[in-house]
Structures are given as C-alpha cells and as structure tokens.
Amino acid sequence: MSRSAATTTLITVAPTGAESAKADVPQLPTTLDELVETAVRCERAGASMIHLHIRDGEHRPTLDGGLLRASVEAIRGSTDLIVQLSTGGSVHDPLEQRLTVLDAEPDSCSLTCGTTNFGDEVFLNPWPFMVELYRQSIEREVVPEFELFDLGHVHALRRLLAEEGLPFGGRAHVDLVTGVPGGMPGTPAALLAAVALLPEEVTSWSATGIGRTHLPILATALGAGGHLRVGMEDNLVFAKGQPVRRNDELVTRAADIATTLQRPPMTTTEARELLNIKRRNAS
Ligand code: KMH
Ligand code: ZN
C-alpha cells in the first residue's frame, strides 16, 4: 500500500508525557479519572488516537503493568480512541521494562527508531531493542507508530522495514517529533527534509513540534499532507502568556485549523481503517 493524499486529518493527543511535574503543572492529567475525562473531551474535540504515558499515586511516571492495563481498559471503556501506549517511558526507564508495556494489550505502541540526546539526558533506543520491540509488536498484533526524532532515525526505519518487513496490519505510520533539544529542529525545513526521506513503505505520517515550534510544525504538516499530534506532553503554552488549561483546547485548535484547510478531523473509525487497527473489545 502506498501513501495517498490525505483529505482528512488524524489528530493524536499526547496528554501527559513523562517530563512535566504535577507540582509545576497542576492541570496536567495524571490520575486515571483525569486521563479518562481528558480522553473523552479530546475525542469530542476531534482526536482519534491517544498517546499515553501514565503516572503513579504520587504523579511520577511509571510503567507499572497493572496501572497500564487499567488505563487502557478505562479509556477503551469510555471512548473509541485508538489507545497507543508509550514504550519510550521516561529517560530513566530500563529497556527491559519498556518491553513489558505490550503486556497491557494496547491498540498501538510508540517505537522510536534511534537514540537521541534529550535535553541534558539521553533517550536510549539501541538497534537490538528496536528490533525486539518491533518483533514483539508484530507477534502481539499491536500497530507501532515509528517515532523519528532525527534524520538518522528515518534511515534506521528504512533498515528496520527492509530487514524485518511490514508492521502488524501492513501499514507503516510515522510521527516526526521535532524540536526536542538534541533532535531535529522544529522548523519547516527540517520537517520537510525528513518527509522527503521517508521510505516508500510509509503509508501515513504525522508531526509534532515541541514547545513553541508546535504551531509552525502543525501548519507545515497540514500543508504537506501530514497528520497531527498535539498535547501537553509536547507543549504547555497555548499562546503568549496563556498556559494550556486542558488538552482539548489544543485538539480543538488543531481541528479548527485542519478544517479551515479542508482537512477536517478523521473519525475514530476512519483512523482505525487508516492504521488497520485490530478491534479489541472494551471490558
Ligand atoms: N519521554 C521521552 C523520553 C515515547 O513516548 O515513545 C520519550 C517519549 C517517546 O515520550
Ligand atoms: Zn511519549
């Protein structure tokens, strides 16, 4: 299957991330109730996928298997969003534990195609880890989203697809993450260079701009036929002097801009078809 021109927009919301502290950002959704409420609001606003990091009782990032499973089930029980679990976790999570995320049976999982400097830290994704995670995602029928933070990651994805074949479901969806200090910059030129180098197996791509790069990247992605990821994982400022109060504000703005550009938000059903997501029953 090849990439066809997008007439609608897949909007992914990344509501929490692993980097911001609840003490600094009290409006960050960190409890299960807050996550479910966020998911419901964001679906209503036009999101069709949620990229999920979870927190423990003290609002610290965790990869606890029971909490992950409970979060997947709760969001599945309240929305039709595609539930994508982060396998990136926080920069402090061990690789072995990051592989256990798939035990929670998400619809999708992130799969970052290389190591990157991440501010003052290192986000580790060695080749053998990528391959192992990819093989497990195929075995468990989970659709990966390839997260590419740098041009080198685009090349690593090419190698992964050439050596290991297509993902479960036969589609290859990418998110180009720009503007991380240490990765490719959040500029139209960098984004378009990465898009130009995507392997032909890639059937759809979205883009993320961290911090103040989120709007130029959003506009560039829409203009170039890409999809969008927004949310408080990536950006905490709605406009100058105006913090983001809720994730759905970002989804609503993205949906409005996409609609103005004649690329209205996809329904969850359309997004499931685009990524060929396996139907799993809500419990
Ligand atoms: N929190 C970052 C270290 C992912 O979710 O897969 C990694 C990250 C990517 O957010
Ligand atoms: Zn993430």
Q: Please write the tens of the pLDDT for every residue from 44-103.
A: 999 999 999 999 999 999 999 999 999 999 999 999 999 999 999 999 999 999 999 999
pLDDT band at 280 (very low <50, low <70, confident <90, very high): confident
Cα gap 102→68, rounded to integer Å: 9
Task: Tally the C-alpha atoms within 13 A of residue 153's C-alpha that lie toward its C-beta.
Answer: 29
Among the bound ligands, the one closest to the CA of 109: 1
Closest-approaching ligand to the CA atom of 98: 1
Ligand 1: lining residues by beta carbon, under 6 Å: 17-18, 86-88, 90-91, 110, 112, 118, 123, 147
* Amino acid, single-letter form, for residue 267: T
69 Cα to the center of ligand 1, angstroms: 18
CA 83 to ligand 2 center in whole angstroms: 13
Structure-block tokens of residue 64? 């606890």
Average pLDDT over residues 27-40: 98
Nearest CA to ligand 1 atom 10: 88
Task: Indicate the residue type of 168.
Answer: F
pLDDT at 25 over 80: yes
Q: What letters, b where the CB count within 10 A reaches 16 and e where it falls short, cover 55-65?
A: beeebebbbee
Relative to beta strand 61-62, strand 54-55 is: antiparallel
Torsions phi, psi for 193 (to 5 deg): -65, -40
pTM of the model: 0.98
CA angle 260, 266, 269 (to 5 degrees): 165
* pLDDT score of 283: 55
Predicted pLDDT at 282: 63
- Which of 117, 35, 130, 45 lies closest to 83, judged by CA? 35
Which residues, other chains included, contact 49 with Cβ-Cβ below 8 Å and sequence gap of 6+?
Answer: 10, 11, 12, 13, 81, 82, 83, 84, 108, 271, 275
Residue pLDDT, tens place only, 172-215: 999 999 999 999 999 999 999 999 999 999 999 999 999 999 99
Nearest CA to ligand 1 atom 7: 88
Q: Is 22 left (phi over 0), alpha (psi -120 to 50) or beta?
A: alpha
| pLDDT score, position 2 | 77
Measured from the Cα of 87, ligand 1's closest atom is 6
Which amino acid residue places its CA nearest to atom 8 of ligand 1? 88
User: How far, in Å, is the centroid of ligand 2 from the Cα of 17?
Assistant: 5
Give the Å distance between the CA of 235 and the centre of ligand 2. Answer: 12
Find out whether 136 and 110 touch, Cβ atoms under 8 Å. no
Q: How far apart are CA 241 and CA 82, in angstroms?
A: 33
Region for residue 89 given its phi and psi (left: phi exceeds 0; alpha: psi -120 to 50; beta: otherwise) = left
Which ligand lies nearest the alpha carbon of 110? 1
d(CA 142, CA 88): 15
